Structure 1
Amino acid sequence: MSLSDPDHDLVAAELGRDPTPAEVALFENLWSEHCAYRSSRPLLSAFDSEADQVVVGPGDDAAVVSVPTHADDGEETYVAMGIESHNHPSYVDPYDGAATGVGGIVRDILSMGAYPIALTDSLYFGGFDREHSRYLFEGVVEGIADYGNAIGVPTVGGSVEFHDGYEGNPLVNVACVGLVTEDRLVTAEAKTPGNKLVLVGNATGRDGLGGASFASEDLSEDAETEDRPAVQVGDPYTEKLLIEANEALIDEDLIRAARDLGAAGLGGASSELVAKGGLGAEIELDRVHQREPNMSALEILLAESQERMCYEVRPEDVDRVAEIADRYDLGCSVIGEVREGNYVCTFEGETVVDVPAEFLADGAPMNDLPMESSTGAERDRPDPDLEDAFDAVVASPNTASKAWVYRQYDHEVGTRTARRPGDDAAIMAIREAGTGLALSAGAIPSWTSAAPYDGARAVALENATNIAAKGATPHAAVDCLNGGNPENPDVYGGFGAIVGGLADMCRDLSVPVVGGNVSLYNDSVAGPIPPTPTLAMIGVRDGYDAPPMGVTGTGTLLEVGTAGGALGGSEYLAQVGGSDRFPDLPADAATAIDAVERIATLDSTLATHDVSHGGLAVTLAEMVTAETGISAAVDDVEALFDETPGRIVVETTDVEAVEAAAGDLPVRDLGAATTDARLTLSVGDERLERTAGTIAGLRDVIERELD
Structure 2
Amino acid sequence: MPHVNATEQPQINLDPLPTVETARKLGVLPDEFERIIAILGRQPNFTELSIFSVMWSEHCSYKNSIVWLKTLPRDSERMLAKAGEENAGLVDIGDGLACSFKIESHNHPSALEPYQGAATGVGGINRDIFTMGARPIAQLNSLRFGDLTLPKTRRLLRGVVKGIGDYGNAFGIPTVGGEIYFDECYNTNPLVNAFSAGIVEVGKVAKATSYGVGNPVFIVGSATGKDGIHGATFASEDITAASTDKLPAVQVGDPFMEKLLLEATLEIIATGYVIGIQDMGAAGIICSTSEMSAKGEHGMIIDLDKVPTRQTNMAPFEILLSESQERMLVVIEKGKEGIIQGIFDKWDLHCAQIGEVTDTQRLHFYRYGQLVADVPAHDLVLGGGAPQYRRDYKEPAYINEFRKFQIASVPDVPAAELSAVATHLLSHPNICSRQWVYQQYDSMVGTSNRSTNAPSDAAVVRVKGAGIPKSEKSIVITVDCNSRYVNANPYVGAQIAVAEAARNIVCTGGEPLAVTNNLNFGNPYVPEVYWHFVEAVKGMGEACRRFETPVTGGNVSFYNQSSDDGPVFPTPTIGMLGLMENPDNRMTLNFRPAGGDLIYLIGSPQNDIASSEYLYSYRKVKASPAPAFDIEQELAVQATVKQLITKKLIASAHDISDGGLFVAVAESAMAGNTGFAITTDGDYRTDAYLFGESQSRVVVSVAAEQQSAFEQFMERTHIAYSQIGNVTPADFVVNGQTVLTSAEAAPLYNNALGKIMA
Do the two structures share a fold, i.e. TM-score over 0.5?
A: yes
CA distance in 2 between partners of 1:512 and 1:143 (Å): 31
Question: Once the 2 structures are TM-superposed, how far is the Cα of residue 680 of structure 1 from its aligned partner?
Answer: 0.9
- Give yes or no for contact 1:210–1:264 (8 Å, CA) kept in 2: yes
TM-aligned CA deviation for residue 564 of structure 1: 4.6
Distance 1:36 1:541 in 2: 36
Match of 1:29 in 2: 54
Instruction: Kindly state the Cα deviation for residue 646 of structure 1 after the two structures are TM-superposed.
Output: 2.6
3-state DSSP of counterpart to 2:724: strand
Give the equivalent residue in structure 2 for 1:690: 740
C-alpha distance in 2 between matches for 1:41 and 1:518:
9
**Residue in structure 2 matched with residue 655 of structure 1 by the alignment:** 707
Instruction: Evaluate the alpha carbon distance shift between residue 661 and residue 288 of structure 1 in structure 2; reply closer, same or farther with a 3 A threshold.
Output: farther
Query: Secondary structure of 1:218's match?
Result: coil
Indicate the larger mover: 687-696 or 404-413. Answer: 687-696
Verify the 8 A CA contact 1:418 1:544 in the aligned structure 2: no
Cα distance in 2, alignment partners of residues 189 and 645 from structure 1: 43
Matched-pair contact (CA < 8 Å) for 1:479–1:513: yes
Greater radius of gyration (CA): 2
Q: Describe the superposition over 1:7-39 as per-residue Cα deviations: whole angstroms up to 9, x where unpaired.
A: 111011111111121110010000001111111
What's the counterpart of residue 235 of structure 2?
215
* CA contact 2:64–2:389 (8 Å) conserved in 1: yes
Could you tell me which residue of structure 2 aligns to residue 395 of structure 1? Answer: 427
CA contact (8 A) 1:470 1:597 kept: no
Q: Which moved more, 1:91-100 or 1:342-351?
A: 342-351
Q: Which SS does the other structure have where 2:241 is aligned?
A: coil
- Please state how far the C-alpha of 1:655 moved relative to its aligned partner: 3.1
| 1:381 counterpart = 2:414 | no
What SS class does the counterpart of residue 654 from structure 2 fall into?
strand
Distance 1:275 1:92 in 2: 33
Kept in 2, the 8 Å contact 1:165–1:529? The answer is: yes
Corresponding position of 1:266: 285
Equivalent residues of 1:420, 1:427 under 8 A apart: no
One-letter amino acid matched to 1:520: F
Q: 1:333 and 1:518 mapped to 2: Cα distance?
A: 33
Please say if 1:678 is aligned against 2:731: yes
Query: What do residues 578-630 of structure 1 show as CA deviations (whole Å, max 9, x unaligned)?
Result: 34432321341322222122223332321111101111121011011363211
Shift of 1:437: 0.9
- 2: distance between equivalents of 1:144 and 1:366? 34
Query: For 1:567, which of 609, 615, 632 is the aligned residue?
Result: 609
Contact 2:628/2:695 (8 A) holds in 1: no
Partner of 1:80: 100
1:583 matched residue in structure 2: 627
Distance 1:661 1:226 in 2: 64
Q: 1:695: Cα distance to partner?
A: 1.2
Out of 444, 468, 488, the residue aligned to residue 412 of structure 1 is: 444
* Residue number among 644, 648, 657 corresponding to 1:612 in the alignment: 657
Shift of 1:505: 1.0
Q: Which amino acid aligns with 1:542?
A: E
Query: 1:138 Cα shift?
Result: 0.9
| TM value normalised by structure 1 | 0.96
TM-score, length-scaled by structure 2: 0.90
Aligned equivalent of 2:591? 551
- 1:18: which partner in 2? 43
1:372 shift after superposition: 1.2
| Aligned residue among 85, 91, 109 for 1:89 | 109
1:137 to 154, 157, 163: 157
Matching of residues 171-570 of structure 1 within 5 Å: 171-223=191-243, 225-341=244-360, 342-361=362-381, 362-373=384-395, 374-375=399-400, 376-377=402-403, 378-379=405-406, 380-384=409-413, 385-420=417-452, 423-431=456-464, 432-525=470-563, 526-545=565-584, 546-552=586-592, 553-570=595-612
Offset from partner CA, 1:41-79 (integer Å, 9 cap, x none):
1111221010000001312210100013xxxxxx41100
Shift of 1:660: 5.2
Label 1:382 to 1:23 Cα distance change in 2 as closer, same or farther (>3 A). farther
- Alpha-carbon distance change, 425 to 608 in structure 1, aligned in 2, over 3 angstroms: same
3-state DSSP of counterpart to 2:281: coil
Q: Which one-letter code corresponds to 2:278 in the other structure?
A: R
User: Structure 2 unaligned runs (5+)?
Assistant: 1-24, 465-469
2:722 maps to which of 646, 663, 668 = 668
Q: Which amino acid aligns with 2:620?
A: G
Deviates more, 1:626-635 or 1:327-336: 626-635
Cα pair 2:731 2:738 within 8 Å, conserved:
no
Residue in structure 2 matched with residue 72 of structure 1 by the alignment: none
Aligned residues: 696
Deviations 1:532-579 (A, max 9, x none): 010110111223352221101231111112345422211011122234
- Please give the per-residue CA displacement for 1:232-261, whole angstroms capped at 9, x wherever unaligned: 000110001011111211222231111000
Residue 726 of structure 2 aligns to a residue whose secondary structure is: strand
The 3 A distance-change label for structure 1 pair 138 and 520 is same
Which region of structure 1 is more displaced relative to structure 2, 179-188 or 84-93?
Answer: 179-188
C-alpha distance in structure 1 between counterparts of 2:273 and 2:559, whole Å:
40
Return the letter of the residue paired with 2:580.
Answer: R
Preserved CA contact (<8 Å) 2:656 2:699: yes
Q: 2-side partners of 1:622 and 1:445: how far apart?
A: 22
Task: Indicate conservation of the 8 Å contact 2:74/2:552, yes or no.
Answer: yes
Deviations 1:461-519 (A, max 9, x none): 11111100011111111000010001111111111111111111111111111111000
Give aligned-pair identity as a percent. 36
**Cα distance between partner residues in 1 of 2:485 and 2:709:** 33
Q: What is the match of residue 43 of structure 1?
A: 68
Query: What is the alpha-carbon distance in structure 2 between the residues aligned to residue 126 and residue 195 of structure 1?
Result: 50
Aligned residue number for residue 668 of structure 2: 623
Is residue 757 of structure 2 the alignment partner of residue 706 of structure 1?
Answer: yes
> Kindly tell me: are residues 279 and 563 of structure 1, through their superposed partners in 2, closer, same or farther at Cα, counting changes over 3 Å?
farther
Structure 1 pair 369–564 and aligned structure 2 pair: CA distance change class (3 A): farther
Q: Kindly state the Cα deviation for residue 659 of structure 1 after the two structures are TM-superposed.
A: 4.1
Decide whether the 8 Å contact of 2:219 with 2:351 is kept in 1.
yes
The code of the aligned residue for 2:89 comes to A
